């Protein structure tokens, strides 16, 4: 497989994850099989090992594989697991994967040094911050809002529209950093007041909210992102026996 390295393409770890997942679902990698090592995938795709690790971590979260130090990575499931968390995550993944089908508006803003965001990022209050705000629309309807906070010392592409919804690849590409870990908090929440006008909805309209922190290989916080996305349409029927 040749990765799409176009600036507008999906993140490389996402492409690798989808490639491996397809092989699992079509039976090329069977339940009980061990996947090639991270080094093999690294050489096959000509990417960093951290990129491969992120791809495998996503498959682990989705329930396709298990990982054990000293043994390797084993396929444990070939059928997608539809957990509540996966349903929420799919809304963001769908946007990232199909971003070319949508319009986005990008704003770069300076953030007050006294902002509580400096505390979240564990930065000295004297460090200037940049807020990256991205509104995603389809057919003139707003469907997503992403706000990311980073240090002003970090480099970004000259063309702000090259900034991805998921900052990981953008920050690694334009800076000498290696992002190896992220923490996500995913919730279903009512629309915040300040976004009601943007989305043209009431506060009772529910969104998938993701709070994401990326860490580098020195365990420093690199970015903090909050996103609100209109969820994909799902219905759940629950039957309980008394």
Q: Which of 53-57, 126-130, 146-150, 172-176 has the lowest mean pLDDT?
A: 126-130
Tokens of 134: 């991205």
Specify the range with the lowest mean pLDDT, choosing from 66-70, 78-82, 195-199, 225-229. Answer: 78-82
9-18, 39-48, 155-164: which has the minimum mean pLDDT? 9-18
Domains defined along the chain, listed by start: 12-75 (1.10.10.10), 88-241 (3.40.1410.10)
The residues facing 61 across adjacent strands are none
- Pick 77 or 16 by higher pLDDT: 16
Rounded to whole angstroms, the Cα distance separating 207 from 189 reads: 5
Helix (H, G, I), strand (E, B) or coil at 213: strand
- Position 235 scores a pLDDT of 47
For the stretch 111-149, pLDDT in tens is 765 566 666 677 666 778 899 999 988 778 888 899 999
> Which is more confident, 136 or 2?
136
Q: Which of 48-62, 63-77, 109-123 has the lowest mean pLDDT?
A: 109-123
Q: pLDDT tens digits for 179-233?
A: 888 888 888 889 899 899 888 888 888 888 889 999 988 888 899 999 998 875 4
Phi and psi, residue 161, nearest 5°: -75, -5
221, 186 Cβ separation under 8 angstroms: no
C-alpha 73/C-alpha 67 separation (Å) is 5
Strands, DSSP E only, in the chain? Answer: 65-68, 72-75, 103-111, 129-138, 141-151, 179-190, 206-216, 221-229
Residues 6+ apart with CB under 8 A from 156: 108, 130, 132, 163, 170, 174
Angle at 112 between CA 111 and CA 114, to 5 degrees: 135
| Integer Cα distance of 96 and 111 in angstroms | 26
Here the tokens at position 141 are 């309807």
174 Cβ contact list (under 8 Å, min separation 6)? 154, 155, 156, 157
Average pLDDT, the chain: 82
- For the beta carbon of residue 51, count every other beta carbon within 10 angstroms: 25
Asked whether the whole model's pTM tops 0.75, one would answer no
Q: What is the pLDDT of residue 69?
A: 78
pLDDT of residue 240 exceeding 80, the answer is no
What number is the average pLDDT over the span 50-71? 87
């Amino acid at each position: 497989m040749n990765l799409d390295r176009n600036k507008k393409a999906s993140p490389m770890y996402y492409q690798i994850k989808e490639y491996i997942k397809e092989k699992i679902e079509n039976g090329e990698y069977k339940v009980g099989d061990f996947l090639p090592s991270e080094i093999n995938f690294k050489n096959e795709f000509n990417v960093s090992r951290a990129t491969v690790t992120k791809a495998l971590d996503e498959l682990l979260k989705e329930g396709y594989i298990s990982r054990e130090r000293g043994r390797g990575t084993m396929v444990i499931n070939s059928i997608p697991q539809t957990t509540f968390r996966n349903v929420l995550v799919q809304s963001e993944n769908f946007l990232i994967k199909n971003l070319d089908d949508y319009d986005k508006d990008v704003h770069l803003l300076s953030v007050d040094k006294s902002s509580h965001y400096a505390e979240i990022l564990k930065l000295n209050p004297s460090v200037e911050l940049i807020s990256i705000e991205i509104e995603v629309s389809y057919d003139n309807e707003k469907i997503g809002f992403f706000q990311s906070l980073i240090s002003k010392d970090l480099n970004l592409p000259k063309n702000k529209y090259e900034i991805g919804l998921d900052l990981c690849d953008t920050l690694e590409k334009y800076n000498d950093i290696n992002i190896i870990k992220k923490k996500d908090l995913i919730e279903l929440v009512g629309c915040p007041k300040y976004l009601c006008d943007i989305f043209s909805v009431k506060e009772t309209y529910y969104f998938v909210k993701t709070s994401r922190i990326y860490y580098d290989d020195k365990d420093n916080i690199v970015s903090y992102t909050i996103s609100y996305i209109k969820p994909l349409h799902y219905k759940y029927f629950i039957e309980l026996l008394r």
